[in-house]
Chains A and B, each alone.
Chain A
């Protein structure tokens, strides 16, 4: 297949490469360029400030607060989601025992799979609107409506102590179904004989889970961890729509992506926003690289 391949390669790749050079590479070059200017977002870009925007960040309490919230999500979102998804994927695939030599999930596992995936289909905009009602701070809110009448209504998102936890719950709720399906697919690739053999040797479900499923699924878990970490660095949509005063109360739910958006399109601080974007870019890539490196282990072939 050597003869005349270059016309094909060039013809096939010219559009995607052009798109990426324009929309990603060139866009990032522009973002880096803008990050060293003080610029409102309108008019000529002239006021070069060097690393001024980055120095400004160091003194910006909102920045540190936002970073703290991103780290909060970064630590908890992957752990909770991966554990829940693993447990349920395990139940759906091998929790129900085996029949005629075929390991199977708990009763109704096909229905569960659809149910768990369902939140993934809803747009974040819709999820945010729905959970705005779930966490409604008065009796018309869903949770407050369920609580006994004698309780005074919980504030949820309006309480700065719990607002971030509410965001985390919604993120987990939305993400978990996707990872159940992802892990299920991975578990489907593990030969059932492995489970059968272990079961005959007397392994309990718990043993199967820790000694077989997790090691054989490690690569998938790794990928999931990276995806979830990236979701934790974003979280813009939910915070923007759900929270009091967008990022409030009193900055209790501000995240970096929200800062970028508001500085760029509301506070006329496009230069500062670009600098924040550069920081977010490096944070995300560092996280991804670190995760893949730290969690690397000899891959086990099934």
Chain B
């Protein structure tokens, strides 16, 4: 820690009057650009941008808690004058809402669990072994993340149809697994590579078999990576709707598809629709808030540092 007295004096080039700096002697700040105006500007920009980012979300909340007549009122009100939970109740009572919610949970959990198991083993072999074809596998993992999935929708549909897996939760789960697997493998590979090989070797000298090394050393140390990738996978699978909408009939779809169906069939019932949107987003928001500290680690572990 630098004692306040030892704080470097403002550089001579500073245009800020010295006395303003003295006004707060204990803030210990050497502003990088040394201009207060800059700091004010920076803070203002942050606030304005945040408002822009949040306004639509606020509008959703506002609409969801308004009674029906207020939603459609020509004079918009910025706060529900008589807040109500009616919209949430009618969303829950709407046909297929609970069914589709349960479908979403099943499909998401299957896909994420599958991707974690398959992805962890795949990442292990890429990170810990050198073998013929390893580079090719890495390349495929990377390229697959780039290709437009929509151009695969027709063959996907045909394949699942011939396997009797259309209009089934299993078919969708497998598809989602494939969708989130590249990210999972790539990120976990980053985490595993970060574990020193000396640990493996030390454990093996102490008599661990290779399988025990993977199970007792690498798996526990990859914990944060597993959390980060599963949250990412969860968000992807939970929010997906194009595939499930194409493959399955409404009673085998998820909440996103439900939402869209209700947007078109009950066009002006904005209240329940927004309430549905909120309910649908809650799991993702909760997961995010739990791991938001680690989100940057999860994002960058494999994605950026090649």
Contact = CB atoms under 8 A, between A and B. Distances in A.
A225 to B, nearest CB: 12
The interface centre, meaning the residue of A27, A206, A208, A273 with most chain B CB atoms within 10 A of its CB, is A27
Interface string B143-162: 11011101111111011000
Given A8-B129, A12-B125, A123-B238, A115 B54 contact: yes
B38 A205 contact: yes
A288 B147 CA distance: 10
Contacts of A274: 151, 154
Contacts of B172: none
A126 B277 contact: yes
Nearest to B277: A126
B304 to A, nearest CB: 5
Contacts of B148: 230, 233-234, 257, 277, 280-281, 284
Contact of A31 (B34, B76, B155, B303): B155
Given A117-B288, A123-B256, A134-B59, A100 B33 contact: no
Given A20-B140, A26-B159, A131-B56, A182 B259 contact: no
A23 interface: yes
Interface residues of B, number: 104
Interface residues of A, number: 112
A219 interface: yes
A251 interface: no
B299 A121 contact: no
A107 interface: yes
A145 to B, nearest CB: 4
B191 interface: no
The interface centre, meaning the residue of B32, B39, B155 with most chain A CB atoms within 10 A of its CB, is B32
B260 A241 contact: yes
Contact of B299 (A5, A28, A182): A182
Contact of A177 (B53, B63, B246, B263): B53
B131 A125 contact: no
Interface in A179-204: 181-182, 184-186, 188, 195, 199-200, 202-204
Given A112-B46, A185-B299, A280-B151, A9 B125 contact: yes
Contacts of B63: 133
**Interface of B, helix, strand, loop or mixed by DSSP:** helix
A28 B42 contact: no
Interface in B195-229: 197, 200-201, 204, 210-211
A124 B243 CA distance: 13
Interface string B41-56: 0110110011011111
Given A19-B178, A145-B76, A205 B33 contact: yes
Contacts of B71: 140
A106 B44 CA distance: 10
A244 interface: no
Nearest to B4: A100
Contacts of B105: none
Given A16-B185, A20-B144, A97 B31 contact: yes
Interface string B241-278: 11000100000000011011001000000100110010
Contacts of B137: 13, 17
A78 B103 CA distance: 35
A95 interface: yes
A123 B281 contact: yes
Nearest to B58: A142
A223 B137 CA distance: 20
A130 B152 contact: no
Interface in A1-40: 1, 4-6, 8-9, 11-13, 15-17, 19-20, 22-24, 26-28, 30-31, 34
Contact of B43 (A107, A121, A195, A204): A107
B29 interface: yes
B146 A288 contact: yes
Interface in A148-203: 173, 176-178, 181-182, 184-186, 188, 195, 199-200, 202-203
Interface in A267-292: 270, 273-274, 276-278, 280-281, 284-285, 288
A284 B280 contact: no
14 contacts: A1-B200, A4-B210, A16-B122, A16-B181, A107-B43, A119-B57, A126-B277, A173-B53, A182-B303, A182-B304, A206-B33, A257-B148, A264-B153, A273-B154
**A-B interface, 8 closest residue pairs, ranked by CB to CB distance from nearest:** A277-B151, A123-B239, A97-B31, A205-B33, A145-B76, A30-B155, A185-B296, A12-B121
Interface of B: 1-2, 8, 11, 13, 27-35, 38-39, 42-43, 45-46, 49-50, 52-57, 59-60, 63, 71-76, 118-119, 121-122, 124-125, 128-129, 131, 137, 140, 143-144, 146-148, 150-156, 158-159, 174-175, 177-178, 181, 185, 197, 200-201, 204, 210-211, 235, 238-242, 246, 256-257, 259-260, 263, 270, 273-274, 277, 280-281, 284-285, 288-289, 292, 295-297, 299-300, 303-304
